[in-house]
C-alpha cells in the first residue's frame, strides 16, 4: 500500500497586539542539521602549530647547549663521592712498606677501603694456593679488631679514646706484610723451614707496625706497649697459620 499524504493547514497564533501570525508548514521528516554551540570561554586561546611562531621559552637550558655539558664538569669523581681516597690509600700502603719507621700522621683519618682491598688480596692469594678463606679472613678480621679494641680500652681505662672503626682500619692496613707473605708462599715449598722463618718475620713486621700506630694515635697506650704488642702478635699469628697450613 502506498503512503498517504495529509495536508495540514497552517496554524495561526495571535500576539499581544492582536495581529495573527502564521507559521509555515514544517515537513514531515526534516533533514538533520548540526547546531554550532558557542564557545563557553571566549578567552580560550588555541595553540598554533606554526614552527616559526614557537615561543622562545622552549629553548634548551644554557648548560646543555652545544657539545659542552657544564653541569657535569664540576662533579667530583665517583670514588671521592663514595669516600674512597686512592691517593691516601697509596700513601698509607707505601708508608707500611718501611718496617722500621711508620708515619702515624697518615693514619689519623681512618678508612676501611684499604683494609678491605688487603683482605680481598689475601683471600685471592689463598685461593691460588687452593684454599677458600674469604669468609674466614673477614670474620677473623672483625673478631680480632673487636678483641684488640676491648683489650686496649681495658688497659687504658677511662682515658682510652680508641674507637672500633679506627681499630679496624689499623689492623686491616697492617695486613699488608701478611699479603706479601701469602703471595710469596706460592713459590715456596709448603711447611718448609723457609716458610716458618718468613712467617715469624712477617708476624714481627705486622706487630711492630700495628702496635706503634695504636700507641701513637690512641692516648694512654704508651704505658702498656708490651701488652698491646702481645695482643697484636696473637692476631697476626692466626693469619700466618692460614698461610702455612
Confidence band, pLDDT 50/70/90 cuts, at residue 159 = confident
Q: Is 179 helix (H, G, I), strand (E, B) or coil?
A: helix
The reply to whether 153 falls in a domain is: yes
Q: Which long-range contacts (CB under 8 A, 24 or more apart) does 124-127 make?
A: 125/179, 125/182, 125/183, 125/185, 125/186, 126/182, 126/242, 126/243
Distance CA 69, CA 73 (A): 7
The answer to whether residue 170 scores a pLDDT higher than 80 is yes
Number of domains in the chain: 1
Considering the entire predicted model, what is its pTM? 0.68
The answer to whether residue 66 scores a pLDDT higher than 70 is no
Question: Please, which residues bridge with residue 21 across strands?
Answer: 13
> What torsion do the CA atoms of 23, 25, 26, 27 make, to the nearest 10 degrees?
-170
The reply to whether 138 falls in a domain is: yes
Distance CA 217, CA 106 (A): 10
More confident position, 99 or 142: 142
- The three three-digit cell numbers of residue 139, written as one number: 670474620
Of 36-45, 149-158, 170-179, 200-209, give the lowest mean pLDDT range: 36-45
The reply to whether 34 falls in a domain is: no
The reply to whether 58 falls in a domain is: no
The answer to whether residue 90 scores a pLDDT higher than 50 is yes
Q: Are 225 and 231 in contact (CB under 8 A)?
A: no
The reply to whether 49 falls in a domain is: no
**Mean pLDDT over residues 101-120, rounded?**
92
The reply to whether 61 falls in a domain is: no
What percent of the chain has pLDDT above 70? 67
**Mean pLDDT over residues 32-42, rounded?**
55
Distance CA 81, CA 77 (A): 6
Q: Which of 52-61, 108-117, 149-158, 198-207 has the highest mean pLDDT?
A: 198-207
The reply to whether 87 falls in a domain is: yes
Q: What is the pLDDT of residue 188?
A: 93
The answer to whether residue 127 scores a pLDDT higher than 70 is yes
Of 11-15, 153-157, 159-163, give the lowest mean pLDDT range: 11-15
Domain residue limits at 168:
81-244
More confident position, 64 or 116: 116
Closest C-alpha among 138, 200, 202, 144 to residue 171: 144
The reply to whether 39 falls in a domain is: no
Q: What is the pLDDT of residue 65?
A: 47
Amino acid at each position: 500500500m502506498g503512503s498517504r499524504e495529509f495536508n495540514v493547514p497552517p496554524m495561526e497564533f495571535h500576539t499581544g497586539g492582536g495581529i495573527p501570525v502564521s507559521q509555515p508548514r514544517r515537513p514531515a521528516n526534516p533533514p538533520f542539521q548540526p547546531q554550532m554551540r558557542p564557545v563557553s570561554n571566549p578567552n580560550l586561546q588555541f595553540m598554533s602549530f606554526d614552527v616559526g611562531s614557537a615561543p622562545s621559552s622552549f629553548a634548551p637550558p644554557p648548560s646543555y647547549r652545544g657539545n659542552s655539558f657544564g653541569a657535569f664538569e664540576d662533579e667530583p669523581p665517583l670514588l671521592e663521592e663514595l669516600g674512597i681516597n686512592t691517593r691516601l690509600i697509596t700513601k698509607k700502603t707505601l708508608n707500611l712498606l718501611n718496617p722500621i719507621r711508620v708515619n702515624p700522621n697518615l693514619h689519623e683519618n681512618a678508612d676501611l677501603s684499604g683494609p678491605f682491598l688487603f683482605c680481598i688480596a689475601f683471600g685471592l692469594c689463598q685461593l691460588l694456593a687452593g684454599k677458600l678463606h674469604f669468609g674466614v679472613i673477614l670474620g677473623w678480621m672483625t673478631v680480632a679488631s673487636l678483641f684488640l679494641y676491648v683489650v686496649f680500652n681495658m688497659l687504658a681505662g677511662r682515658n682510652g679514646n680508641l674507637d672500633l672503626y679506627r681499630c679496624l682500619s689499623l689492623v686491616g692496613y697492617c695486613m699488608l706484610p701478611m699479603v706479601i707473605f701469602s703471595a710469596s708462599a706460592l713459590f715456596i715449598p709448603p711447611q718448609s723451614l723457609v716458610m716458618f722463618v718468613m712467617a715469624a718475620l712477617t708476624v714481627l713486621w705486622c706487630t711492630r707496625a700495628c702496635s706503634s700506630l695504636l700507641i701513637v694515635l690512641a692516648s694512654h697506650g704508651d704505658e702498656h706497649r708490651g701488652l698491646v704488642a702481645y695482643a697484636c702478635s696473637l692476631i697476626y699469628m692466626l693469619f700466618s697459620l692460614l698461610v702455612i697450613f
